[in-house]
Structure 1
Amino acid sequence: MSAAARIPLVGAAVLGALAVLNGLAAKRAERRHPPQGRFVEVDGVRLHYTDRGEGPPVLLVHGNLVSGGDWDSSGVTAQLLQSGHRVIAFDRPGFGHSDRPRGKLWTSEAQAGLLFKATGQLGVERPVVVGHSWGAIVALAMALRHQADIAGAVLVSGYYFWTLRPDVLPVTLAAIPGLGDILRYTVSPLLGRLMLPLAKRAMFSPREVPERFSETYSDGMALRPSQLRATADDGALMIPGALEFRDELGSLATPTVILAGAEDKVVFSDMAERLHAALPHSILHVVRGAGHMVHYAVPRQLAATIAAVARSGALPEVTAQAA
C-alpha cells in the first residue's frame, strides 16, 4: 500500500482513538460529578433539577458552558434560601445531567416551554424566573409567553438584540449534524481544554476567576460530547433567539429587573440598556466593576433584588453595586 493510500487509514485510526478516549473521559467526569438533585420527565425529556427551601418560589436558569449548580457556586442560591425562598434550578437540556433529544430545535422558546411545564409538574406557582446569559433569553421567553403565571423576571447579562458576533461561525459549524458529531467526539474536547481558561477569564474579567468557581466547575463535564452539542446548538441559535421576540417586547407587563456588568466583555452592557428602553415595566442596574458573571460579583444584592420582586410582585427599589 502506498504512503498516500495509508494517510486516510491513519487519519481514521487517530479519530477513532480520540473518540474512544473522549468517551471514556466523559464517563469518568460523570462518575466524579454525579447528580446532586432529582429528575423529572417532561414531554419525553429527562431533566435534572434541585428543589430546596420553602416560601415564594424562584426559578433559576443558567447560561452556556455551565449547569444549574452555577447558582450554588455563585452564592445566590444560599442567599435566597436564607431569605426564605423555595429555589428551583434545572440543568437546561443537554447541560449537566439533563437530556437533549435530537429531532427538535431547542430554541429559547422551546426551552422556556419545557421548563415551565416542569415547574408545573413540581407544583410551582407564580415563580420569579431568573436567567443568566443564554438563560436570560429563556427567562424572557417564559415571561412573555406566561405573563399571568410569572411573578416577575430578573435578567442577568443577557443577549437580547442581534449583533455581529465572531464566535457564532465556529459554533455553527460544530452544530451541523454529522460534521458536528465528528468534531465533538474527536478534536473539540482537545481544543476546548486549550480555550476554556481563556473563556473563563473573559467571563469574569475585569475580576479574577473566583476560587469557588474553580473548585466546583468541571472542565470534564463541560467538554463531554453531549454538552458540547448543547453548547454549540445554543451558540448557533443565539442570534435567532435575539430576533425571536423583538416585536413583542412592548407587550411584557411582568415586572422585570435587568442587570448587566459595566465591564462585560461577552455581552456589552448597552444590550441591557436597549432592553430596558423596550420594556415598559422594567428597571436597569449596571454593576460597576463587574463583567459577565454579575451573579458572582454581587450575589447578596442580586438575591435581595429577586426577593423584593417575589415579595411585592412589583419592581423593587434596589440598586446592585459591586463590592
Structure 2
Amino acid sequence: MNRLSRLPTSVRRNRNVAAGHSYAVAAVVAAGALAATALLNRHLAKKAEHDNPPAGRFLDVDGVRLHYVERGSGEPLVLLHGNGSMIQDFESSGLVDLAARSYRVIIIDRPGFGHSSRPRNVVWTPDAQAQLIERALKRLGVSQAIILGHSWGASVAVALALKFPDMVSGLVLASGYYYPTLRPDVVALSAPAVPVVGDIMGHTLSPMISRLMWPLMMAKIFGPKSAPAKFQRFPKEMALRPSQIRASAAESALMIPDAFHFEDKYAELKMPVVIIAGENDRLIDIDKQSARLHSDVSQSAFHRVPQTGHMIHQTATGEVMAAINEVAGNDPRPQSIHEVSS
C-alpha cells in the first residue's frame, strides 16, 4: 500500500481537489497566453498590411480577389512567385525593372499571398490556380504569354501550360520541384494547414516561431550566398501573417502529391521550355528535379548557375532575364550562364 492510500479519505480528496484546481489554473493561464498572442499577431498583421498597401490593381475572379501589378509593354510575360512569397519578391530582385524594358510584365499575388484572397472552399492545387490565372489573364486581354514560375510557382506554370497550351508561348521554370521525393521537412511545414489545430497554431505560435527561424530560413534559401541588400525591400511581416502562414502550409502539404500528379505528364509540354536552377540549391536537389525534367522534356534547355542557391532570381537576376529572352527567341544567352545541354 502506498503512502497516499494510507492517508485519510478527506485528505486525499482535498489533495485531488487542489491538483485539479492547479490544472484548471494552468489551463486558464495557457488559454490566456494563446489569446494574447493571437491578438498580438492580429495587430502585427494589420500593421503589415497598413505599411505595405497594394501596389497594383485587383480582379475578382471566381470568388477570389486577385492582386496584380502590370509594368511595361510588348509581349506579355507573367511572373508566378514561390511558396510563402508575393509580388515584392520579384520587384525587389530587379527582375521586373529589367523585363519591363521589353515585355508587358504581369506579376500576380497567388491566392492567399500578398494582397490576394484564398477562399477555403477550394483546394488550391496548381491545377486550380492555373485555371484561376488563365481566367484572370483573359480578363486582362492576354491571349498568349510567356510564363515564368519560381519554386512552387513553377508547378503552377506547368499546370497552366498543360491545361491551356495555346495560352503559353513559352515556359521559364526556375528552382522548381517536379518529382516526388522523401521530404520529412514538409510534414512540419504543413502543420498550420491542419483543420482546427492548424488554425490555432497559425494565429498563435507559428508566427512567433517563424520570426525566430527567419534568419535560418533565409540562410537556407539564399545559400551559399547571403541575402542581397535589395531583399530588405521584401515585406517580411506580410509573410508572417497568420493567413499567409496557413496558405504556405497548405502548399507545403500539396507539394509531394502534386509532384506525383505531374511526373508522367511533362513530356506533353510542346512549347519552348527553359529550365534554370542554382547549382548549390540547399532546398531542392536540382539533379533529381531540374536535370530530370530536362531529360523528360525533349525541347527544353537547362542551365545550372554556379555559386547560386534557390533564390536564383534574387542572386542571379541577369541569368534569369537571359532565360526569359531565350524562351522568347529575343536574345542569345550571356556567357555568365553555364549551359549543361540544350
Counterpart of 2:42 in structure 1 is 23
Query: How many Å apart are 1:3 and its aligned residue?
Result: 1.6
Counterpart code for 1:52: R
The secondary structure found in structure 1 opposite 2:246 is helix
Count the aligned residue pairs.
318
**For residues 257-268 of structure 1, what are the structure 2 equivalents within 5 Å?**
257-268=274-285
Q: Pick the aligned partner of 1:173 from 191, 201, 225.
A: 191
**Structure 1 position 252, deviation (Å):** 1.1
Contact persistence 1:65–1:231 (CA under 8 A) = yes
Deviation at 1:319, TM superposition (A): 5.6
Q: CA deviation at 1:129?
A: 0.2
Distance 2:88 2:134 in 1: 19
2:179 pairs with 1:164: no
- Residue number among 251, 256, 278 corresponding to 2:273 in the alignment: 256
Say whether 1:318 aligns with 2:333.
yes
Structure 2 counterparts to residues 121-136 of structure 1, below 5 A: 121-136=139-154
Question: Which amino acid in 2 is paired with 1:29?
Answer: A
2:206 maps to 188
State the secondary structure of the residue aligned to 1:148.
Answer: coil
1:226 to 208, 218, 243: 243
Report the equivalent of 1:39. 58
Question: In the alignment, is residue 244 of structure 1 matched against residue 261 of structure 2?
Answer: yes
Look up the equivalent residue of 2:192 and give its one-letter code: A
Contact kept in structure 1, 2:272 and 2:300, CA below 8 Å? yes
Kept in 2: contact 1:285–1:319 (CA 8 A)? no
**Larger-Rg structure:** 2
Q: Secondary structure at the match of 2:149?
A: strand
Q: Structure 2: how far apart are the matches of 1:14 and 1:211?
A: 36
Once the 2 structures are TM-superposed, how far is the Cα of residue 300 of structure 1 from its aligned partner?
2.1
Contact 2:275 2:294 in 1 (8 A): yes
- Structure 2: how far apart are the matches of 1:39 and 1:14? 37
Aligned mates of 2:228, 2:335 — CA distance in 1:
19
Residue 92 in structure 1 maps to residue 110 in structure 2: yes
Deviation at 1:296, TM superposition (A): 1.7
1:89 maps to amino acid? I
Output aligned runs, 1:15-164, within 5 Å. 15-82=34-101, 84-164=102-182
Cα offset, 1:45, TM superposition:
0.3
Distance, in Å, in 1 between the alignment partners of 2:337 and 2:240 is 31
Matches within 5 A, 1:202-217: 202-214=220-232, 216-217=233-234
- Contact 1:53–1:85 under 8 Å retained in 2: yes
Q: CA deviation at 1:322?
A: 6.3
**Residue 7 (str. 1) matches residue 26 (str. 2):** yes
Change (3 A) 1:51 1:174: same
The more displaced of 222-231 and 168-177 is 168-177
The CA deviation at 1:163 is 0.6
C-alpha separation in 2, matches of 1:179 and 1:98: 24
CA positional deviation for 1:254: 1.2
SS in 2 for 1:290: coil
Secondary structure of the structure 2 residue equivalent to 1:164: coil
Deviation at 1:147, TM superposition (A): 1.2
Higher relative CO (Cα under 8 Å, sequence separation at least 6) belongs to 1
* SS of the residue 1:110 aligns to: helix
Shift of 1:171: 2.3
Tell me the secondary structure at the aligned position of residue 90 of structure 2.
helix
Give the residue type in structure 1 aligned to 2:258: G
In structure 2, stretches of 5+ residues that fail to align are: 1-17
Corresponding letter in the other structure for 1:21: L
- Unpaired runs of 5+ residues, structure 1, are none
In 2, the alpha carbon distance for the partners of 1:218 and 1:262 equals: 27
Identical pairs, percent: 45
Q: Against the structure 1 CA distance between its residues 285 and 319, is the aligned structure 2 distance closer, same or farther, given a 3 Å change threshold?
A: farther
Q: CA deviation at 1:311?
A: 4.4
* Residue of structure 2 in register with 1:273 after alignment: 291
- TM-superposed deviation, 1:221: 0.6
1:39 maps to amino acid: F
With structure 1 as the length reference, what TM-score do the two structures score? 0.95
TM-score by length of 2: 0.90
2:273 maps to a residue whose letter is T
1:320 Cα deviation after fit = 6.8
* Pick aligned residue for 1:282 from 270, 294, 300: 300
